[in-house]
Chains A and B, each alone.
Chain A
């Protein structure tokens, strides 16, 4: 035990003296969570709407107002012909075009059906689908106002739970959180693990009476402590800057963070056992990190992925962490709900750490 503490203390001092490592523990995670939280917003709003109003009457203008009354669409221009509108849609100056026919008012007063043409730039499928929903909703609103008091037999009232303001940053920040832990954790631990190998000081460690297992754990424990401090920093930013609600138990979240940090350390150590130099660990990370981050459900919903990919995300610690963080923080869920994710996370962490410790030991021996 005394040997272990001596080694752990040595590691801690070594990390503390390495200014670049300390900076890379603090600056990139903070910067990344700020950038991601502010820049990634999938909410559909302020779509550029173009109008061809062939009718030019009070009623047609009222229809246009019904579409532009909320922030989804911004009226960008009125066009004389459908051709001109189509051209601007083609070059990307417009997202949506609405063409009101010339006999709009006449047909409306006689109660004949009117067809309004809606042109959508569907290049972005997601935006197009949401925009279509909003256009139809707006026109439905207009119809109801003009139905002469006769309401539709069935209406639908929407209640948005947990995040009624549709604050997208909550979704992104809770999703990016796990990615940050794993990516930065694995980078930092790979960097500290590879150093002994690069400088050839492994022999010196072997000459000490410490066993291989002691060496590995003594390397991991200080990293764990440091990375947990980084986690607290990120939690602080999420709370203070983005106002992410903390509805569930903080202990549960911290337990998940601990599991995630361990998984990150395991991954970094594993990478370092395959590499020969620091630049190689960085390159290997290029193979691993982007798929790990993108297939986590942190930024885009897992349900939107193809069916054959979805089971693979169960092997991704980030996926379990994001699911758990969202449940605990935003929905206020307890252990009874999130235990499968927590168990999976801890199991994955255990697997990563033991495989990497085993490989590290073998390379020492």
Chain B
């Protein structure tokens, strides 16, 4: 035990002297999570649209005003003698509402009229949003007109867990996970591969320290750093993102400790296997960052990943941690909701540790 702690102290001293690494450890996670959590969102507001009013009557203008007052849209004026398609093709508008001729006359006569919305579907998600909300605006307008059959079935929608539909409350915790998957991993991998690159690992081999003690000493060091990062990021969640614990925070505490252990073990494994700092960082960038970013449900839902790739995501530790963090800050389901995720992180962490230990032993025998 004493040997483990002594090693941890040595590592931490080494970190404090390396300014680039220290910035990587403390400043960058905060800055990156803050920046990305607030800026990344899929939900577009203020979508620029054009309205082509071929009728030009009071009623058609009232319909156009319904879109103007909607917060989702920003109406861009359609220059004279320009077709709406040109505005869409030029990317100056995302959608165009075309109000047909005789719009008012037909309504007064009680005949149904159909307006048209042309949606630029280049971005499928925004197109879906536009389609949904344009329908809502039109239905509300039709109801206002009266004379229409009042819809018998109405909906009373209640938004749970994030009633303001603030996307930062969803993405903030996601980028906390991303930050924690990158930085402790990179630092651990760098520290480990440095020993290999500078051949100082030979000194370790000839010392009386065992592979377990060596590995645990390294892991403990970066766990200290990782937990510090986690606390800083949690602080960011409370302040910048305005989140609070929605329920029992103990799954988050246990899950975070296990997750940090898991990523640090992964980093050590990479560092042991690749005794070259540049290559090790690249491997972490690919394995740690890209996989956690793509296959963890951070921004894009896992359910949409094709079956052939989706199984990979069950091996990605970040996928489980995302569930735990979101549950702690938004849903508040507590242990009954996330016990399986905590177990999975523990299992993956143990597997990484075992692999790292095996690799280290093998290298030791070879050396």
Contact = CB atoms under 8 A, between A and B. Distances in A.
Interface of A: 24, 28, 32, 35-36, 38-46, 63, 89-92, 107-108, 111-130, 132-137, 139-140, 142-143, 146-148, 150-164, 166-168, 170-171, 191, 277-283, 286-287, 290-291, 294-295, 299-301, 303-306, 309, 323, 326-327, 330-333, 337
Given A42-B124, A45-B304, A295 B147 contact: no
Contact of A126 (B125, B152, B327): B125
B35 interface: yes
A158 B63 CA distance: 16
B44 A301 contact: yes
Interface string B249-292: 00000000000000000000000000001100110011001100
A137 B116 contact: no
Contact of B151 (A143, A157, A305): A143
Contact of A132 (B85, B157, B327): B157
A157 B158 contact: no
Contacts of B45: 303-304
Interface in B20-50: 20-21, 24, 28, 32, 35-36, 38-48
A133 B39 CA distance: 24
Contacts of B90: 327, 333, 337
- The 5 A-B residue pairs with the shortest CB-CB distance, nearest first, are A133-B132, A279-B277, A41-B304, A91-B337, A122-B159
B238 interface: no
Given A44-B128, A299-B299, A301-B42, A122 B112 contact: no
Given A116-B153, A279-B278, A294 B36 contact: yes
A237 B336 CA distance: 44
Interface in B320-338: 323, 326-327, 330-333, 336-337
B311 to A, nearest CB: 12
A297 B38 CA distance: 14
Contacts of A117: 155-156, 158
B25 to A, nearest CB: 11
6 contacts: A125-B41, A139-B151, A143-B153, A155-B112, A161-B121, A162-B121
Given A90-B337, A160-B131, 19 more contacts: A40-B300, A43-B124, A108-B152, A113-B152, A116-B154, A124-B301, A154-B112, A154-B115, A155-B114, A157-B115, A171-B124, A171-B125, A279-B277, A279-B278, A283-B186, A286-B186, A300-B299, A304-B41, A331-B122
A118 B41 CA distance: 24
B305 interface: yes
B174 to A, nearest CB: 10
Contacts of A133: 128-129, 131-133, 135-136
A287 B136 contact: no
A45 B304 CA distance: 8
A261 to B, nearest CB: 20
Interface stretch (B2-10, B138-146, B357-365): B138-146
A146 B160 contact: no
B125 A43 contact: yes
A92 B36 CA distance: 25
Given A91-B336, A116-B156, A301-B44, A156 B116 contact: yes
B294 A40 contact: yes
B224 interface: no
B133 A42 contact: no
Contact of B121 (A116, A163, A191, A303): A163
B297 to A, nearest CB: 9
B319 to A, nearest CB: 12
Given A42-B125, A114-B154, A140-B135, A291 B32 contact: yes
Given A91-B337, A108-B152, A136-B139, A155 B115 contact: yes
A155 B125 CA distance: 23
B47 A303 contact: yes
A158 B152 contact: no
Contact of B161 (A123, A151, A159): A123
B162 A125 contact: yes
B150 interface: yes
Contacts of B236: none
A36 B305 CA distance: 10
A337 B39 contact: no
B165 A35 contact: no
Interface in B152-179: 152-163, 165-167, 169-170
Given A120-B160, A160-B127, A162-B120, A129 B91 contact: no
Given A123-B170, A143-B152, A129 B129 contact: yes
Given A39-B300, A39-B309, A92-B331, A161 B85 contact: yes
A348 B132 CA distance: 38
A294 B107 CA distance: 47
Contacts of B304: 41-43, 45, 168
B290 A305 contact: no
A161 B126 CA distance: 13
A159 B42 contact: no
B188 interface: no
B102 to A, nearest CB: 13
Contact of B149 (A89, A122, A152, A330): A152
